[in-house]
Amino acid sequence: MNNLDGLLTRLIAAAREPATPQPAPSAPPWFARSVVNRWLAESAGAPARSWLSVSRSALACATLIMLVSLAFNFRVVWRRDPPEQIASDSVVSLFLPK
């Protein structure tokens, strides 16, 4: 293990470059303009995108509510009684004393 540590240290030392700070190249003339144009275009499209995400969330919520209500009313939906009987049962249940 120690031997391997020594080998690794020697490899790293051999690979080490002298730290000479290199001046970073200046930006090409088109660069700043292009970045700013993209930023402004994207930020102009941002409200539309936020509306899109709001409407997606609303759709997801509505679907969820629909599924939950379907689960609660599962027995009624899948009941095989004729529709007239279901309607009369509903009316009777409305007027029954609680």
Partner 1 sequence: MGNETVDAGALLERTRQRDPAAAEALVEFLHPAVMAVIHRRLPRGTDPQDLAQDVFLKIFANLDGFRGSATSLEAWARRIAFRTCLNQLRRQRSRPELRWADLPEEQVEMLESVVLVSHEPDPGQQASARELLGALLAQLPPKERTLLELLELEQRSLDEVQQLTGWSRINIRVRLHRARRKLRRALARLLKDHEQP
* Chain positions contacting partner 1, by CB under 8 A: 1, 4-5, 7-8, 10-12, 14-17, 19, 22-28, 31-36, 38-40, 42-43
Q: Rank residues 13 and 96 by Cβ distance to partner 1 and give the closer one.
A: 13
Chain centroid to CA 27: 35
- The dihedral built from the CA positions of residue 8, 11, 17 and 18, taken in this order, carries a sign that is positive
Query: What is the closest distance, in whole angstroms, from the C-beta atom of residue 11 to partner 1 in the complex?
Result: 5
CA separation for the pair 4, 28 (Å, rounded):
46
Read off the amino acid at residue 29. Answer: P
Query: What is the closest distance, in whole angstroms, from the C-beta atom of residue 44 to partner 1 in the complex?
Result: 10
Q: Rank residues 43 and 93 by Cβ distance to partner 1 and give the closer one.
A: 43
Query: What is the closest distance, in whole angstroms, from the C-beta atom of residue 65 to partner 1 in the complex?
Result: 34
Q: Rank residues 33 and 79 by Cβ distance to partner 1 and give the closer one.
A: 33
CA separation for the pair 86, 94 (Å, rounded):
12
Element (DSSP H or E) covering residue 41: helix 31-72
Query: What is the closest distance, in whole angstroms, from the C-beta atom of residue 8 to partner 1 in the complex?
Result: 6
